[in-house]
Amino acid sequence: MKRALLLFAAALPAASHVVSMSSGDLSVNGARAHYELRMPLYEITHVTDPGRTLLDHIRFSGAHRVSQECRADASRDTYLCSADYQWNSPVSQVEVECTFASATVPNHVHLLRAEMSGKRDEAVFDLSFTRATLRFRPPTPTEIAITQAGAGFVRALEGAVQVLFLGALVLAARSRRELLALAAMFVAGQAASVFVLPHSGWQPAPRFAEAAAALTIAYLSVEILLLPKEGARWAIAGILGAFHGLYFHLFVQATGYSAGLVLAGAALAEGGALFLLALAFSRLRRWTRFFAAALLAFGLVWFALRLRG
């Protein structure tokens, strides 16, 4: 009974969504600005008075809100807000603080696009990056590379789910050489999703991507528990990587970022995490079956939660 409770406790972090994104548009005209927010309805089911709460969690330094309107659009499963802001004098740049991750779920990502006098800028906010300055000038190639690869790096490890799957990948490897093969095929599978899906005509729903990721953890755990000597795990890692790539596909599609830069940052983060996890598990091999059972419970409970919505 005690072990069963431990396994169930391992699945509790599944309460937050893996794919958690919103977007907004800011239009600045002299000393006035108009902001529009689009938030998935399933992100605010637990939020009290979402119209007020959400707009209180995004601030434009020096500006005060003069009007606002929010409503639910059930046909698009989206919550929509619009607000107007006023500064004391015209501005040339805008300092933004966005803490939607505190109001919704910890791994929430908000993409803000802004325009002023024909010049455009954008910023991405999450739990770690809550402030940005919109300067309305074209970014340099170096800034683009750092921003977009950095976004991929953070997205790859932003939730417990991603880290736990990498842990399962380490447990599934029976040698260092096999771990390298599994890691390479996992990254290749992610890349396949990101580069192929835009040409397939299929648009995966965020909830499907979450449920699929849950099953990848469960399936890999079953491989470890019931098929300990099964070969060709590198092929399985590639297939499971394709399911995890659905999240990066949705992220690239929402942000317009370069798929190559995002995936490069993600691969760097995942490679580093796999190295550290391999070191951590190197002395705990006798606990492999217990860890695999915990991951199986996590995957199944998370899958059930995602199906329930």
pTM value is 0.77
Number of neighbours of residue 141 by Cβ within 10 angstroms: 8
- Given a cut of 90, whether residue 202 has pLDDT beyond it is no
Q: Give the distance from CA 105 to its chain's centroid.
A: 11
Number of neighbours of residue 3 by Cβ within 10 angstroms: 11
Q: Which residue has the higher pLDDT, 247 or 5?
A: 247
Domain with CATH 2.60.40 in the chain: 21-138
Residue type, 13: P
Tell me how far apart the terminal alpha carbons of the chain are, to the nearest angstrom.
28
Place of tokens 């637990």: 46
**Nearest CA among 214, 208, 171, 224 for reference residue 300:** 214
Structure tokens at 53: 């709460």
Tens of pLDDT along 221-263?
888 888 877 778 888 899 999 989 998 998 998 888 999 999 9
Q: Sign of the C-alpha dihedral, residues 85, 86, 90, 96?
A: negative
In the predicted model, what is the mean pLDDT of residues 204-231?
A: 81
Q: Are 90 and 74 in contact (CB under 8 A)?
A: no
Q: 31: pLDDT confidence band, cut at 50, 70 and 90?
A: very high
Greatest mean pLDDT among 2-16, 55-69, 106-120, 210-224 lies in 55-69
Q: What is the DSSP string of 170-235?
A: HHH-SSHHHHHHHHHHHHHHHHHHHHHGGGTT----HHHHHHHHHHHHHHHHHHHHH-TT-S-HHH
Q: 19: pLDDT confidence band, cut at 50, 70 and 90?
A: low
Best CATH choice for the domain 21-138 from the list 1.10.10, 2.30.110, 2.60.40, 2.50.20: 2.60.40
- Of 76-90, 97-111, 290-304, minimum mean pLDDT range: 290-304
* Separation between Cα atoms, residue 135 and residue 119, nearest integer Å: 9
* CB neighbour class for 136 (10 Å; exposed up to 12, middle 13-18, buried from 19): middle
